[in-house]
Structure 1
Amino acid sequence: MELTFRWYGPNEEKITLQQIRQIPGCCGIVGTLFDIPAGEVWPRGRIHQLRQMVEDAGLTLKVIESVNVSDDIKIGTPLRDRHIEAYKETIRNLAAEGVEVICYNFMPVFDWVKSDLDYKLPDGSSTLAFVRKNIPDDPQQIIDTVADGSAGFTLPGWEPERLSQVRALLDAYKDVDEDRLRENLVYFLKAIIPTCEECGVKMAIHPDDPPYSMFGLPRIIKNREDLDWLCNAVDSPCNGITLCCGSIAEEPGNDIYSILAEFTRRGRIHFVHMRNIKYISPEEPGNKDFYEAPHPSECGSLDMVEMMRALHDNGFTGYMRPDHGRMIWGETGRPGYGLYDRALGIAYINGVWEALEKAGCKAGE
């Protein structure tokens, strides 16, 4: 298992690589080229420049997050084959620079939905939250909320130039139901997985966030059954999962622990977003509200040790990053992606993993 840290690049970050390098146990960067639109090729020269920058700081660049799949591919327009060829070329370029895992998603329009980007906790920190009554019926209002609360940063999946045309985008999806979206995902994967197998790159799909429909849009990576379908639909070790613990657990009916164990055993979890969430008023029937909690188990509703144990005991050898963090100690920046709380998250995760490793060694003596 290798611990990593998501970093958006020198033009998009207040956090420096030198600061990340000082986090004990953090070995790698999860990188991106934020400015390249979906459907276009990531040039090898740009990737090399990013890798060199990361390696000069004493870190590795083995995972790339947000090689975004274009809406033309998701919808299935006549442009999709051209965009797929561009995606394949990007895979080749990333592989040539040593990248092993690509995290992506297949969510229509919105990559994630939260009602609050500055949800205040009793200790004075702030975090991301999902409170259903605060989600407006008009998707334009949630776009405006995100824009107003983003602290001037572009947020992944909420690129202003794309969402400025949200009405037209929603209209383009009007005939895309879950079956059609699944067909389009399989079409995409059957086209790119042979390239991945040739290059030694693993695709790792991120679950839907939240794992149920919003604004009438289909969701197809929501639960254990969907993950099983994905693995069987294109049966290759290169067709795998970014197991975002928080996203799967946003549906309280999902057994996050058994999902982690099963798909680790099956060799399909290539990347893990490890985080905790705290259910708000779970005693209310059907209430799925939550906020993103600090990593330790006692701070949220998930047992972090049991999640880590499910990975460890079933042979997880992939990449992991602390997913999201509060704003603490007066820090300001991109919501969910501050330095301090994610650094604390890595320290906690690393400690749990070390304890599991040493307990396993003693048990085998």
Structure 2
Amino acid sequence: MHMTMRWFGPDDAVKLWQLRQIPALTGVVSALSGIPSEVAWTRQGVRQLRQQVEEAGLTLRVIESIPVHEDIKLGNLRRGERITTFVESLEAVAAEGIQTVCYNFMPVFDWTRTNVAYPLPDGSTTLMFRQAEIDRLPVDAAELHLPGWAEAFTPAQLQQLRLEYAAIDSAQLRRNLVYFLQAVVPEARRLGVRLALHPDDPPWPILGLPRVVSTAADLQFILDAVPDEHSGLTFCTGSLGARPDNDLLSMAATFAPRIHFVHARNVMRHSERDFDEVPHVSRYGNTQLAAVVMRLAALCPHVPVRPDHGRMIWGETGRPGYGLYDRALGAMYLQGLIDAEHGQAGRA
């Protein structure tokens, strides 16, 4: 597996020269920032990003993410135009030699946490989620915002989105996802790009909005609907592992041929819909991370993997979940698991 790390561009507090010093880390996962989802990426913009990464002695291995416009998720009359824009962005990425694109299909809200600086007994801080806090959100407040959301929503904006999604249940959202895939996967095949769909995070409905990339049955339906190797998955152990009914070991084996990218992190579940993010070391959480990563290393040896969401440790400050120190520790833990799996295979 190719060890990588998420990098948020020149404004990231974590610098490329620091990532370059992490043993076995050869690749960066990044994206163009500040571009509205209705505007296509340009080859020049992707080239500049790639050159920045390569000048630091690293490789731009994965684009994470090209945004999927809400019009596509809603399936409205503008979705054809938005799909064309998405394909144009794919063309820009492919022209610069990048072969893997991560994306998600979560309506309105991206990954969601209720606290991004939850103190742990050892003095570090981490990300956590409590369903009761979501349920108590004042949706008619002057501004609605939670950690992980790219923007805050005014009551008028949220009301408009709720009206637009009122007729969209999980079945319709699933149909809209399949429509999108049927349109873009042939283009991805033409361009030689692997699409890697990220699971919902957390993997259940938020504020009444449906989510359809949450369970093994969801993933099987999506892969069966468009049975093309260029339509695949980002296997996120933290997102999928937040649900106690997801068997990650079984899912890794079942979906291995279509797993194009791996996010590896550990969560501790406190109840069915409450969890904390914890150190990558397997025994600290519920995800069986060591066993899952070793199985993925055996079945998907050539896919990129990155440590996902670290704690803030040793007094570090910065983007929650994306500090340097704990993710570097996570990268070395993951590399040890991968080395152990390959060593076992070599002795067999």
TM-score between both structures, scaled by the size of structure 2: 0.95
Residue pairs, 1:344-355, within 5 angstroms? 344-355=329-340
Deviations 1:3-36 (A, max 9, x none): 110011113x111100111111111110111211
1:304, 1:163 → 2: CA distance? 40
Aligned residues with identical type, % of pairs: 44
Deviations 1:214-253 (A, max 9, x none): 2111111111111110111011000000011111111101
Deviations 1:263-289 (A, max 9, x none): 11xx10000100000122x5xxxx331
Q: Does the CA contact (< 8 Å) of 1:61 and 1:98 recur in 2?
A: no
**Alpha-carbon distance, 1:166 to partner:** 2.4
1:20, 1:60 → 2: CA distance? 11
**Alpha-carbon distance, 1:139 to partner:** 4.5
1:152 counterpart residue number: none
Deviations 1:107-136 (A, max 9, x none): 111112211111111000001001122223
Residue pairs, 1:306-325, within 5 angstroms? 306-325=291-310
- Cα-Cα RMSD: 1.8
1:188 counterpart residue number: 180
Q: Does the CA contact (< 8 Å) of 2:145 and 2:152 recur in 1?
A: no
Alpha carbons of 1:20 and 1:49: their partners in 2 closer, same or farther (altered >3 Å)? same
1:58, 1:161 → 2: CA distance? 40
2:66 counterpart residue number: 67
2:237, 2:18 → 1: CA distance? 26
1:340 counterpart residue number: 325
- Structure 2 counterpart SS, 1:165: helix
Deviations 1:316-342 (A, max 9, x none): 421110010000011111111111100
2:153, 2:296 → 1: CA distance? 38
1:176 counterpart residue number: 168
Q: Does the CA contact (< 8 Å) of 2:267 and 2:277 recur in 1?
A: yes
Q: Does the CA contact (< 8 Å) of 2:74 and 2:164 recur in 1?
A: yes
Q: Does the CA contact (< 8 Å) of 1:115 and 1:142 recur in 2?
A: no
Q: Return structure 1 stretches of 4+ with deviation > 4 angstroms.
A: 139-145, 160-164
Residue pairs, 1:230-309, within 5 angstroms? 230-264=222-256, 267-280=257-270, 282=271, 287-309=272-294
Q: Does the CA contact (< 8 Å) of 1:293 and 1:300 recur in 2?
A: yes
2:155, 2:10 → 1: CA distance? 24
2:76, 2:199 → 1: CA distance? 23
TM-score between both structures, scaled by the size of structure 1: 0.91
2:192 counterpart residue number: 200
1:326 counterpart residue number: 311
Gaps of 5+ in 1: 148-154
1:298, 1:209 → 2: CA distance? 22
User: Which letter maps to 2:9?
Assistant: G
User: Which letter maps to 2:37?
Assistant: A
Deviations 1:165-220 (A, max 9, x none): 22222221111111111111111111111111011101111111111112111111
1:95 counterpart residue number: 94
